[in-house]
Each structure stands twice: as structure tokens, then as C-alpha cells.
A and B are shown apart, each in its own frame.
Chain A
Amino acid sequence: MKMSYKLTKADLRKVSYRAVLGSQLNWNYERMMSSGYLFAILPALKKIYHSEPEQLQDMLRTQNQFFNTHGFFMPLILGLDLAIEEADGHKAKDTVIALKTALMGTLAGVGDSIFHVIWGTIFGSIAATFALQGSLIGCIIFAVANLLLVFFGQVPLIFLGYKQGTSLVTTVKDKFNYVTEAATVLGMIVVGALIPTIVKVQIPFIYQNGEVKLEIQTVLDSIMPALLPILLVGFAYWLLGRKRMNSTRVILFMLVFSILFSALGLLA
């Protein structure tokens, strides 16, 4: 076996950029991100198996099998994969398959909770709050944050995966639990702040009985500011927990609910 191409930093960086660009462009119902992974790793595989076309073909087939994770972590898995394939070549095929399968689920879970949910919530809320005041600053913060995440977070992950090899999996997995917990706390605090900032619903109803005039909203405000918004969130939260309910149905329900109550003069 004389398969000794040593991947350079430039090779790895190229793979990582290809992952950023193409990981999901061919996302499909059959094998999800399989071809995205293949697209990213292709130039490196060509180099590793340059003298063994049959092994290359077999690895290309292997790398185009079902794969789905959070896009952010794809370079990490690619780095691990390449470290193994560079050392052991085609013999490592089963290890690579096992590693990809084992990691994609775990990292998809971490990625979805941190990036889809927490990241999107924090920067989405900041951008939306500024936008509602007519300012673009929040949008710029959001865009810059995403770019920094891609270039200084996502892309370099391939080096981490490549250098640390499989020993990384243990350490990272433990640390991730605490990162996720901390991120969740941050997310919860921001969401809590979001409720009074964003939901500007009021009860315009004024109770009148002879001399007595009672503005319901003023009474509510004196009990607790933003009482109605937090109650509505609680109501929607409860609705979502009912059987046969999903977010689309709750949205439709809230549409009808708003039209009805605003027609009755109870909500504005």
C-alpha cells in the first residue's frame, strides 16, 4: 500500500469552504445531505486515492449515502473523516461510515438547538426590535454575526476535527452539554424580554355605567405591565400542547381569534 498523500492546510480549507457553499444545495428527500458531503470532500478524495481509481469510485459511492446533520458541524465531521482516510485509506471505509452515522445525529441535535433556536432567537429578536423602531442596525448586527460565525466558527472546525482525530469526540461531547445549557439559559432570558417588547396587544374596551368609566387596559397595566402578552403566549403554548395541534393550525386559529375579538372591540 503506497497511498501517502499528505493533505495540506489549503486542501482542508478548500474542503471546508465547499461544505459551507454546497452542503445543502442538493438537499433532497432521498438522501438529504449526502451529495453535499460528497461535494465538499471530493477534491481531497481525488488526492488521497489518486493512484487507485477503483478505490476512489467505491469511496465516492460510500460518501454519497444518506447523511444529515446541522450544516455548521459538517466541517468537523469532514476533518475527522479525512484524518482517518488519509492514514488508513480504503481500509477505513467501515470506520468512516460508522463515524459519520454516529456523529451526524448528535451534532444535528446540538446544532439545531444552538444555532437554529438560540442564535436565531437572540439575533432575530435584536434585529426585529431595532427594525420596529425603523433602524437598520439590528439587521447589520445579525448579518455580521452570521458572517463571523461562518468564517471564524464553521470553516476552522475542519482543522479541529483533523488534528484531534477521534479522541476529540469524547471531550467535545461533554463540553457541548454545558455549552448547550448555557445557551439555553441565555435564550430563555432573551425570550422573556421579547414578550413585553414585541407583543403590543391591548384591550380597547371601556366599561361604562353611568358616571363610572373603567378602562380595562389601565387596570391591567396597574396589576402588571405586559400581562396580556404573557397570558397570550401561555395560551398559545397550551394550545400547541393539545393533541392534533401544530404551529400552522395555531397560526390559523390565532388569525380567526384576532379577527373575531377585534370585531367585538375586545382586542386591538
Chain B
Amino acid sequence: MEIEVYQIIFIFIFAFLASNDALITGILNQQVITGAIIGFIMGDVTVGLTIGATMQLMRLGVAAFGGATIPDYFTGTVLGTVFAITTGQGAEYGIGLGVPVALLMIQLDILGRFCNVFILHRIDWAIEKMKLGYISPLVLSGSLIWGLTRAMPIVLMLLVGDSIITTINEAIPVFIMDGLKTAGRVLPVVGIAVLLRYMPTKTYFPYLLIGFFFTAFLKVPIIGIALLGLIVAIFIYRRGVEQHTHQGVDASPTLTTYEGGLNEDEL
């Protein structure tokens, strides 16, 4: 299937909006939602959902803490979904393609964060000249940088990619293609492991096993698990607050203590 011009335009607009929404409500850039929307534009929501879901699981815990740059799973999902549908190779192929794309496109994020320094200096200039009307448009113009650093490369890849992808496809041996499909099933493991590395897993390991056993043996669906977890969390919170109020009577924290406390946390 050839990609149509209107589809490229829709994908451009969506990529522009979604890469900005990542910094506002964080909805459109969630891989599973991205996959669904791109799938809809391309005419196969199911493939989009599958690729998006897998990419979403891969990036669990891989969050951009304090502005760290992470693999661009968003761009990976967009291109993976488009090419899975245009080549007719299905979702697993799209995942295998999306992952290397996500790794390659890391540079885009770095580029965007650098370009924004230029705008920042224009804002300094506006303050010095007291041209206050310039400040807000300058800050908002950062959205052009975020939007274009994602949308432009995606469209470029869509325009040149199809034929190149097909050529590469034919050149790749079957065992690699099968391997990529297996990789699509294995890779969420990395997302989960990164997440566990970030969380205090050593202390809270038993809770992980509760979730695991309830699903592995009893086949409780994920919403059921989330509700179960919520109940346990409420108990934990209550216990914590109760303990705190008991201690609070003796310790009687004063208003002046907070500054010291915060400074410790800063370290």
C-alpha cells in the first residue's frame, strides 16, 4: 500500500501537536494512544494499538527525569505503525522497526533542547529592553522547535522511507525477521526492569510478588489488580499517617524546622 499525501499531512500535524502535548497534558505522546491515532490515519487501528502498546510497555520507567534524553519511542511508534501498515508485514515487524528508530532519533530531542537556548537569550534581551510584550510569544515559540524537530524527520522518513524500507526488507534474511518479532515480545522486559531499578524494589519486592501471583495463577485482569493495589495502598497510607501523628505529639515539629529539612533533601 502506498501512503497518500493527505495521510502524510495528517501525520505531520499530529506529530507536531503530540510532541508539544508531551510537555502539557502528556496524552497524545503516550505510545499506545499515538499508535491508535496513527493506525486510524493509516486505516488499521488494531496494528497501531498493538505496536503502541508494546512500545508503551518498553518505556515503562524510562522517563525523562530532570530533562534527561531517552529513546524517542514516540517517533518509533509513528514510523513503526506506518511502515507495518504500508508494507503489510504486521505489528511485530513494526515493533522491530520502531525500536531502532527510537534509538536513532535520540538526537532530535538534544537538538530541540539546544535550539531553545537561543530563544532563552532573546527573552533575556526582551527583559533588558523592557519589551514585555515579546516575552510570552518567545516562550511559546519554543513549541515550533519541539514540533518541527519531530514532525520534519518523520515526514522525511515517510517520503524517502517506503522504497528504502522495501529494499532493506528484501535483503534481510528470514531468521533476522523472525528474531525481530521475538524481540518485540522480549523487549517489554527491559522497560519493566528499568522501572524496577528506579523503584525501591529491594524493600517492596513482596508486593511485586502479590501482583505476579494473582495474575499468573488466578488470572485476575489488570483492572482488578489495580483496585487490589489501591486497597493495599490505602492501608499503607493510613498506617503511615497514624504512626506520624503518634510521633508528632512528642516531636512537635515547629515551623522553623522546614528549612533545615529541605536543605538536606537538596543534597
Contacts of B9-48 to chain A: CB distance below 8 A: 20, 23-27, 30, 32-33, 35-36, 45-46
Considering residues B138, B182, B221, B257, which has the most beta carbons from chain A within 10 angstroms of its beta carbon? Answer: B182
The stretch of A81-89, A178-186, A207-215 in contact with B is: A178-186
The stretch of B148-156, B159-167, B225-233 in contact with A is: B225-233
- The interface residues of chain B, by DSSP majority, are classed as helix
Question: Is A201 among interface residues, defined by CB-CB distance under 8 A?
Answer: yes
Contacts of B165-223 to chain A: CB distance below 8 A: 175-176, 178-183, 185-190, 192-201, 204-205, 207-217, 220-223
Among all A-B residue pairs, the 5 with the closest Cβ atoms:
A192-B211, A259-B179, A178-B240, A236-B193, A28-B116
Contacts of B232-267 to chain A: CB distance below 8 A: 232-234, 236-237, 240-241, 244, 253, 255, 257-259, 261-263, 265-266
CA distance A32 to B142 in the complex (A): 12
Apart from A25-B20, A32-B67, A64-B124: 17 A-B pairs, beta carbons within 8 A:
A26-B116, A64-B127, A122-B229, A134-B49, A139-B36, A142-B27, A143-B33, A175-B241, A191-B196, A196-B215, A225-B216, A233-B193, A233-B196, A236-B190, A237-B196, A257-B186, A263-B175
Contacts of A247-268 to chain B: CB distance below 8 A: 247-248, 250-252, 254-255, 257-263, 267-268
Return B40 CB to nearest CB of chain A, in Å.
10
B residues in contact with A36, CB < 8 Å: 139
Return B227 CB to nearest CB of chain A, in Å.
10
Return B210 CB to nearest CB of chain A, in Å.
5
Chain B residue at minimal CB-CB distance from A174 = B244
A residues in contact with B5, CB < 8 Å: none
Contacting pair B30 A142 (CB below 8 A): yes
Considering residues A146, A186, A267, which has the most beta carbons from chain B within 10 angstroms of its beta carbon? Answer: A186
CA distance A199 to B221 in the complex (A): 15
CA distance A197 to B232 in the complex (A): 21
CA distance A57 to B125 in the complex (A): 12
Contacts of B73-87 to chain A: CB distance below 8 A: none
Contacting pair B233 A39 (CB below 8 A): no
Contacting pair B258 A259 (CB below 8 A): no
Contacting pair B211 A259 (CB below 8 A): no
Question: Is B132 among interface residues, defined by CB-CB distance under 8 A?
Answer: yes
Interface residues of A, CB < 8 Å — how many?
119
Select one of A68, A233, A248 contacting B189, CB under 8 A: A233
Contacting pair B32 A139 (CB below 8 A): yes
Considering residues B54, B138, B192, B232, which has the most beta carbons from chain A within 10 angstroms of its beta carbon? Answer: B192
Assuming A102-B263, A106-B265, A186-B229, is B186 touching A258 (CB within 8 A)?
yes
Assuming A125-B60, A251-B187, is B117 touching A28 (CB within 8 A)?
yes
Contacting pair B33 A38 (CB below 8 A): no
Which B residues are closer than 8 A to A by beta carbons? 20, 23-27, 30, 32-33, 35-36, 45-46, 49-50, 52-54, 56-58, 60-67, 70-71, 99, 103, 113-117, 119-120, 123-124, 127-128, 130, 132, 135-136, 138-140, 142-143, 146, 175-176, 178-183, 185-190, 192-201, 204-205, 207-217, 220-223, 225-226, 228-230, 232-234, 236-237, 240-241, 244, 253, 255, 257-259, 261-263, 265-266
Question: Is A78 among interface residues, defined by CB-CB distance under 8 A?
Answer: no
A residues in contact with B33, CB < 8 Å: 127, 139, 142-143
Contacting pair B103 A248 (CB below 8 A): yes
CA distance A29 to B127 in the complex (A): 20
Chain A residue at minimal CB-CB distance from B244 = A174
B residues in contact with A201, CB < 8 Å: 182, 185-186
Assuming A127-B33, A131-B52, A197-B222, is B199 touching A105 (CB within 8 A)?
no
Q: List 15 A-B contacts (CB under 8 A).
A: A26-B119, A30-B117, A46-B132, A64-B127, A122-B229, A127-B56, A142-B32, A190-B229, A192-B207, A199-B192, A236-B193, A252-B103, A259-B183, A263-B179, A267-B186
Select one of A166, A183, A190 contacting B225, CB under 8 A: A190
Chain A residue at minimal CB-CB distance from B110 = A29
B residues in contact with A175, CB < 8 Å: 241
Return A191 CB to nearest CB of chain B, in Å.
6
A residues in contact with B136, CB < 8 Å: 22, 39, 42
Question: Is A156 among interface residues, defined by CB-CB distance under 8 A?
Answer: no
A188-221: CB near B (< 8 Å → 1, else 0) gives 1111111111111100000000000000000000
Assuming A27-B116, A178-B241, is B188 touching A35 (CB within 8 A)?
no
CA distance A184 to B32 in the complex (A): 23
CA distance A127 to B128 in the complex (A): 48
CA distance A251 to B189 in the complex (A): 9
Contacting pair B211 A188 (CB below 8 A): yes
CA distance A44 to B210 in the complex (A): 49
Question: Is A116 among interface residues, defined by CB-CB distance under 8 A?
Answer: yes
Contacting pair B175 A259 (CB below 8 A): yes
Contacting pair A146 B127 (CB below 8 A): no
